[in-house]
Amino acid sequence: MGSPFLRQDSFEGQPDTTPAELTCGEILVLGDSHAMVFADPRFRAQFPLHSFDVVAIGGATASGLENPNSKTQSAPKFLHAWRNSQARTVVVLLGEVDTGFVIWYRAEKYKAEVSQMLLNALKSYQDFLTVLKNGHRVICLSAPLPTIPDGQEWGEVANARKAVRASQMERTTLTTRFNEGMRKFCAENGIGFLDLDDQSIGKDGLVDKRLLNSNPLDHHYEPRAYMEMMVPELRKRL
């Protein structure tokens, strides 16, 4: 079955623009709740020549992009923003929900291998980026590493994901595999990839403690630490 993104109507109304002609002033950001860091005034102050239009949908997943019945309806919302944006640079940040919960949940639910569910998520994400690439410069960010420690069931997100029995180390390993799969795809398809894994992993093999949110109920990276890590790398690509 072909990708639901690769339909002719997905491309209608898009300008015939080559990557060399793209401008960087306005940037469209599509992602899950982790993408809200792009809306932080401290982040925007680091890029005075750019404006960021952030479309962040909590719970959005790479796996769900191909599902027309997904709860978040992220794909149609993202594509609507993409079609109606004047930006010619698109930054995409997805995957944390997949590697931290959805892939494990689906493997258990469908009695399937985690590796197969990983491949499904990667394929869905890659098909989506292929569409976004049409007439645009696309930059894909590596998915954040899991921050919820083993045994934590308090907090809204931790409680929602408690059905997943994978350890934090197993979730971390899956996240790095996911990011490596996206890195290779992007390199082969002329898509920028911002890989923060090496900077994010601590000496114990888990997420570096400096990235943990000061609010123990918040599974997002500490915004200032995330920005300090991301900004220098993003500047090289904008």
- Rounded Cα distance between 208 and 211, Å, is 6
* Nearest partner of 90 among 18, 192, 236, 226, judged by Cα: 192
Average pLDDT, the chain: 88
**Considering the chain, what percentage of its residues have pLDDT values greater than 90?**
77
pLDDT at 30 over 90: yes
pLDDT band at 217 (very low <50, low <70, confident <90, very high): confident
Would the pTM of this model clear 0.85, i.e. be above it? yes
pLDDT (0 to 100) of residue 148: 86
DSSP string, 52-111: EEEEE-TT--SGGGG-TT-SS-HHHHHHHHHHH---SEEEEE--HHIIIIIHHHHHHHTT
Say if CB 225 and CB 211 are below 8 A apart: yes
Higher pLDDT, 25 or 182: 182
Is the pLDDT score of 44 beyond 80? yes
**Best CA proximity match to 104, nearest among 170, 183, 182:** 170
C-alpha distances out from residue 232 to 47, 102, 226, Å: 11, 31, 11
The reported pLDDT for the residue numbered 161 is: 61
CA dist 224 and 40 (Å) reads 9
Bridge partner residues of 52 (DSSP): 27
- Flag whether pLDDT at 234 surpasses 60: yes
Per-residue confidence (pLDDT) for residue 118, from 0 to 100: 98
Quote the pLDDT of residue 8: 31
Interhelix angle for 114-132 vs 168-188, to 10°?
Answer: 40
For the domain made up of 25-235, the CATH class stated in words is alpha beta
pLDDT tens digits, 137-171: 999 999 999 998 876 664 555 545 667 889 999 99
- What span, in angstroms and rounded, lies between the C-alpha atoms of 114 and 205? 21
As a dihedral over the C-alpha atoms of residue 188, residue 193, residue 198, residue 201, rounded to 10 degrees, the angle is: -120
Query: Once rounded to an integer, what is the mean pLDDT over residues 97-125?
Result: 95
- Going from N- to C-terminal start, the domains of the chain cover 25-235
Strand partners, 28: 53, 90
Position 195 scores a pLDDT of 97
Tokens coding 212? 């943990």
Q: What is the pLDDT of residue 149?
A: 85
* pLDDT exceeds 50 at position 80: yes
